[in-house]
Amino acid sequence: MTEQIDLHRRHLLGVAVTTVAAVQFATAGSAGAQLSMTKTGATTIKPGTNSFGPLKQVTAGVLNVGYAELGPADGAPVILLHGWPYDIHTYVDVAPILASRGFRVIVPYLRGYGSTQFLSSETPRNGQQAVVAVDVIALMDALQIDKAIVGGCDWGARTANIVAALWPERCKALVSVSGYLIGSQEANKMPLPPKAELQWWYQYYFATERGQAGYEKYRRDFARLIWQIASPQWNFDNATFERSATAFDNPDHVDVVVHNYRWRLGLAEGEPQYDELEQRLAKAPVIAVPTITLEGDANGAPHPDPSAYAKMFSGKYEHRLITGGTGHNLPQEAPKAFADAIIQVASLA
């Protein structure tokens, strides 16, 4: 097992390295977006050029969710999920491409981000993996979306994995950056080699009260550092960063983020009503819906080797490596490549 695979055995629950032949997908046509593209699908974002415009709000479960919506109301639904420390602008250039192809695109702020707010001050600011997926199902119910293509990156990829695994009747198809990321507290007890542990430094930092206070005080500096480490070849400008950084001003942001990482290490409890879901996730359920997984060739964040998770997808499946210096925030760095994956996986569902 390579060190790269060791790095994510926590998420893969000891999955043996295997090589699975990919199911080939038909080549999609032009995405039709008016963006400046390179051959690899990367884009240069000019500050202030791309915007979602006015956002919508809807009560869904325990949240009032802020979200962007593009495309025709009767289009095939696509739900795109961001991660940490990012926001809905991960998809600011993906969404118009998909809308131009007739998809109804929904891009929500996760709990603790942007304009998404808890309905009650009594609700725990819980960040465990299952609850974020429950939020997505609640959002679908609130928007009367029976079934959707779900795509994600970072926390969003894990959440998309969970929706596809636990509620396949609600997930038409899946696009996941860095593959299969479902984990468990038990698996996270397994120590890693020191070099691998080093890459999780912030996880251990957040386990301390000093870390929580430090993130509260320096959340913008912290996020910018993670962006730079995770995407070392992404030359984002200050306007691009600040456009997303306002999402971290959410009053629940620090509590949700810190709980997420403490829960992973078994240092914080989840809510009892989600125990059954976590037990199912701890068994590493196989995902059967049509799936495309993506990875950037310059991803500086911890991520598993594709061969370690290929067998976790039992349906029509393909993995794609996106070249040209693409880092961890793949949909924002290479929006055409991500949009193409959504378009193509839709044709197989």
Quick: pLDDT tens for 111-133.
999 999 999 999 999 999 999 99
Q: Is 143 helix (H, G, I), strand (E, B) or coil?
A: coil
Read off the pLDDT of residues 205-247 as tens digits, 9 standing for 90 and up.
999 999 999 999 999 999 999 999 999 999 999 999 999 999 9
Using a cut of 0.95, tell me whether the model's pTM lies above it: no
- CA-CA distance, 157 to 174, in Å (whole number)? 9
Confidence (pLDDT) at 46: 54
Angle, nearest 10°, between helix axes 209-230 and 238-245? 140
Other beta carbons less than 10 A from residue 167's beta carbon: 16
Confidence (pLDDT) at 49: 62
Other beta carbons less than 10 A from residue 196's beta carbon: 17
Judge contact between 329 and 153, C-beta under 8 A.
yes
Confidence (pLDDT) at 349: 83
Confidence (pLDDT) at 31: 31
Confidence (pLDDT) at 45: 43
- In the DSSP assignment, the letter for residue 288 is -
Other beta carbons less than 10 A from residue 149's beta carbon: 25
Confidence (pLDDT) at 50: 72
Q: What is the mean pLDDT of residues 181-194?
A: 92
- Which one has a higher pLDDT value, 154 or 43? 154
37 pLDDT higher than 70: no
Q: Which tokens belong to 137?
A: 């199902």
The H or E element that residue 149 is part of is: strand 148-152
Confidence (pLDDT) at 311: 97
Q: Report DSSP letters for 212-271, one per residue.
A: HHHHHHHHHHHHHHHHHHH-TT----HHHHHHHHGGGGSTTHHHHHHHHHHHHTTSS---
38 pLDDT higher than 50: no
- CA-CA distance, 331 to 189, in Å (whole number)? 31
Q: How confident is the model at residue 2 (pLDDT cuts 50, 70, 90)?
A: very low
Confidence (pLDDT) at 48: 43
Closest CA relative to residue 335, chosen from 283, 308, 288, 296: 296
Q: How confident is the model at residue 23 (pLDDT cuts 50, 70, 90)?
A: very low
- CA-CA distance, 178 to 316, in Å (whole number)? 17
10 pLDDT higher than 90: no
Q: What is the pLDDT of the chain when averaged over all its residues?
A: 88
Look at the chain and count its residues. 349
Q: What is the mean pLDDT of residues 82-110?
A: 97
Helices (DSSP H) in the chain: which residue ranges?
3-7, 9-12, 94-100, 129-142, 155-166, 194-198, 201-205, 209-230, 238-245, 253-264, 275-282, 306-309, 330-333, 335-346
- CA-CA distance, 275 to 167, in Å (whole number)? 16
Pairing of strands 104-108, 171-177: unpaired
Q: What is the mean pLDDT of residues 142-155?
A: 98
42 pLDDT higher than 60: no
Read off the pLDDT of residues 296-334 as tens digits, 9 standing for 90 and up.
999 999 999 999 999 999 999 999 999 999 999 999 999
32 pLDDT higher than 90: no
Judge contact between 230 and 98, C-beta under 8 A.
no
